[in-house]
Chains A and B, each alone.
Chain A
Amino acid sequence: ETGVTQSPTHLIKTRGQQVTLRCSSQSGHNTVSWYQQALGQGPQFIFQYYREEENGRGNFPPRFSGLQFPNYSSELNVNALELDDSALYLCASRVGPSTDTQYFGPGTRLTVL
């Protein structure tokens, strides 16, 4: 196991609702990234946080937002959920933003009805 944990494991929401997903980074890691993985696809980069600041963002709308806390745990918030938001949401942590090896959590499976 990587030491990265995510909660909840599964979640069902309806269109228009808001959701918060949580990630606990591996000890000593100050950088966390979030990804969206649709069924049968590779992970798509959402954004990255380093020392509580967003320092990289993929092609996702502003309704996808995040937070990183002083203990380097992190949240992903999605507002105004759409059906296409149904996916596996992965977080990954690493020692620093310029290091290569990142460790993924098991993901949160979000279903939007």
Chain B
Amino acid sequence: GESVGLHLPTLSVQEGDNSIINCAYSNSASDYFIWYKQESGKGPQFIIDIRSNMDKRQGQRVTVLLNKTVKHLSLQIAATQPGDSAVYFCAEMSASGGSYIPTFGRGTSLIVHP
């Protein structure tokens, strides 16, 4: 079936560095994509989303890039901080019966060293 996957299961960076987390998706019909952050003991938290008709979107310290040609999504975090340490998931949202159904990837663990 269709799936969303991540290239790197673990990413270690130094505080202040920029981080890039990658995601590959397979459903070309997905309407939009969301990045979530999940800290230990908590549910996923929305970070940023991007529609399929866009190729870049910026938020506060985060940028998401979408390359539909190769079905690739990335999350860039600028000036990474220890508080950014968490597992990051991308999810693709596909329309089904008037609703959007998400498919999550496995996740990437980001470790930020002070």
A residues near B (Cβ < 8 Å) are 2, 4, 31, 33, 35, 40-45, 48, 50, 55-56, 58-59, 90, 92, 97-98, 100-107
A48 near B99 with CB under 8 A, answer yes
Tell me if B41 and A106 are in contact (CB < 8 A).
yes
Interface residues of B in 70-102 (CB under 8 A from A): 89, 91, 93, 96-102
Q: Is the interface of B mostly helix, strand, loop or mixed?
A: strand
Complex CA distance for A103 and B36, rounded to whole angstroms:
11
B97-114 toward A: CB 8 Å interface, digit per residue (1/0)? 111111111110000000
Report which of A35, A41, A58 forms a contact with B106, defined as CB distance below 8 A. A41
Which of B42, B45, B98, B107 is close to A42, meaning CB atoms less than 8 Å apart? B107
The number of chain B residues touching the other chain, given as a range, is 20 to 34
Q: Are A40 and B93 in contact (CB-based, < 8 A)?
A: no
CB-CB under 8 A from A92, the residues of chain B are 43-44
Given A42-B107, A100-B49; 19 other pairs, CB 8 A cutoff: A4-B43, A40-B107, A41-B106, A43-B44, A43-B89, A43-B102, A45-B104, A55-B97, A55-B99, A56-B96, A56-B101, A97-B98, A100-B93, A101-B46, A103-B46, A104-B43, A104-B45, A106-B41, A107-B43
Given A33, A35, A48, A100, which contacts B34 in the complex, CB threshold below 8 Å? A100
* Least distance between B109 CB and chain A CB atoms (Å): 9
A–B complex contacts, Cβ < 8 Å, 19 sampled: A2-B45, A40-B107, A42-B4, A42-B89, A43-B44, A43-B104, A45-B103, A45-B104, A48-B99, A55-B98, A56-B97, A56-B99, A97-B98, A98-B98, A98-B99, A100-B34, A102-B46, A105-B43, A106-B43
Bound complex: CA of A106 vs CA of B43, how far in Å? 4
B56: shortest Cβ distance to chain A, in Å? 18
- Which one of A100, A104, A106, A107 has the greatest number of beta carbons of chain B within 10 Å? A100
In whole angstroms, how far apart are the Cα atoms of A38 and B37 in the complex?
Answer: 16
B contact residues around A106 at 8 Å (CB): 41-43
Distance of A59 Cα from B96 Cα, bound (Å)? 14
